[in-house]
């Protein structure tokens, strides 16, 4: 039978110890279970010396607002996927999206990784839409999260209506950017039908509309125009060649920026880079710099056949006693993307070709 002193001692035991945690362990567990903004705000406050026990109620209020806001955004996202529809082969991915509770970045990253691996094999337009839409949804969560965190830093109280309004504003901006890109494409169609010669200025007009390209259908239209106009550019004079080289450099920069924005790389753009029959220093630079992003998106398999085709040509050159700078670039890129494709003799030729070693990321 416990006496009064034992009961007093029991009451003095901190609640976290009764749950089997140290204070630090309970805080870490609580932080792990929070939504992104609430977690980031809590960590920021703790790092500034504040006691989590004192700010816990405020953090939980932020978490509650996030859960409510993300549920609203998720319902809109899933409804748009339902309205668009998908191939029967992709229904499994849709069901997995529906099953996700709350917002867990790691869960979405893993699912997107499997979607991209499947897309790299199947090249399904339906799956490409799903990747685009899911990437867009995740980006919206990040965007509204950044805005909400900035509001908290400015001393504003967490407010569902205000955060919802910010999210709605971001949606309107995105819709305006999509509309602008649509109008630009219609404008180019009109110019073309009126026999107006399109050039680098029209390509730049499209390159400056990355945000509208987040929607895969518009991106395909934009890149088709970019590629077709580029392929029709004159290159007879030194001035024309310089202009063509400069705009190609800008196209490469566009591709580098658009990959993380859309969550994938376009097969058409890969073919555009490789189908020129050679790799320029600019193409090599792009492919080497973008490889970590491609790898993180599980889309390296899309480069298999283009690299295999170009390596076959490089080997034919090698057998004829020729090894050009472009051949060197092809081998260098292949060694980064799919080293098993490179014959040992080509690797040795590359290693002894000094111009290849001049490149710096």
- Band of residue 18 on the pLDDT scale cut at 50, 70, 90: very low
| pLDDT at residue 83 is higher than 60 | yes
Q: Is the pLDDT reported for residue 4 higher than 70?
A: no
Q: What is the pLDDT of residue 357?
A: 53
- Asked if residues 214 and 175 have their Cβ atoms less than 8 Å apart, the reply is no
Q: What's the token pair of residue 226?
A: 């970019």
Q: Is the pLDDT of residue 46 over 60?
A: yes
Region 119-132 average pLDDT: 87
Assign 94 a pLDDT band (cuts: 50, 70, 90). very high
Under 8 Å between Cβ of 124 and 89? yes
- Residue 5 scores a pLDDT above 60: no
- Looking at the chain, the whole-number percentage of residues with pLDDT higher than 70 is 91
Alpha-carbon distances of 274 from 108, 226, 235, 308, 329, rounded to whole Å: 31, 16, 19, 11, 12
Position 360 scores a pLDDT of: 38
Q: What is the mean pLDDT of the chain?
A: 88
Round to whole Å and give the CA distance between 103 and 138.
Answer: 9
Q: Give the single-character DSSP code of 116.
A: H
pLDDT interval class at 230 (50, 70, 90): very high
User: What global pTM score does this model have?
Assistant: 0.78
pLDDT tens profile 255-284: 999 988 888 888 888 989 887 778 888 899
- Rounded to an integer, what distance in angstroms lies between the CA atom of residue 48 and that of residue 2? 43
Two tokens, residue 248: 């190609």
């Amino acid at each position: 039978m416990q006496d009064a002193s034992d009961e007093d001692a029991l009451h003095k035991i901190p609640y976290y110890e009764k749950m089997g945690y140290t204070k630090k362990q309970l805080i870490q567990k609580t932080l792990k279970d929070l939504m992104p903004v609430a977690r980031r705000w809590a960590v920021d406050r703790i790092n500034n010396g504040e006691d989590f026990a004192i700010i816990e109620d405020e953090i939980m209020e932020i978490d509650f607002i996030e859960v409510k806001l993300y549920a609203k955004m998720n319902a809109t996202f899933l409804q748009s996927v339902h309205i668009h529809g998908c191939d029967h082969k992709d229904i499994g991915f849709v069901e997995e999206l529906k099953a996700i509770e709350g917002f867990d970045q790691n869960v979405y990253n893993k699912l997107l990784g499997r979607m991209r691996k499947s897309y790299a094999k199947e090249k399904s337009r339906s799956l490409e839409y799903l990747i685009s839409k899911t990437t867009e949804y995740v980006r919206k969560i990040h965007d509204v999260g950044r805005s909400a965190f900035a509001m908290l830093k400015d001393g504003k109280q967490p407010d569902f209506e205000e955060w919802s309004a910010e999210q709605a504003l971001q949606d309107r901006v995105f819709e305006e950017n999509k509309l602008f890109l649509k109008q630009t494409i219609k404008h180019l169609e009109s110019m073309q039908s009126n026999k107006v010669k399109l050039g680098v200025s029209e390509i730049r007009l499209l390159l400056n509309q990355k945000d509208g390209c987040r929607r895969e259908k518009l991106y395909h239209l934009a890149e088709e125009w970019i590629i077709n106009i580029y392929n029709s550019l004159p290159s007879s004079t030194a001035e024309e060649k310089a202009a063509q080289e400069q705009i190609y450099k800008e196209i490469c920069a566009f591709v580098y920026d658009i990959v993380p924005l859309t969550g994938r790389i376009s097969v058409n753009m890969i073919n555009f880079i490789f189908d020129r029959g050679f790799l320029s220093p600019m193409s090599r630079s792009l492919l080497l710099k973008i490889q970590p992003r491609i790898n993180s998106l599980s889309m390296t398999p899309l480069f298999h056949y283009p690299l295999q085709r170009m390596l076959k040509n490089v080997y034919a050159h090698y057998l004829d006693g020729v090894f050009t700078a472009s051949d060197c670039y092809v081998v260098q890129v292949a060694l980064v993307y799919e080293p098993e494709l490179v014959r040992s003799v080509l690797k040795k030729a590359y290693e002894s070709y000094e111009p290849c070693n001049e490149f710096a990321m």
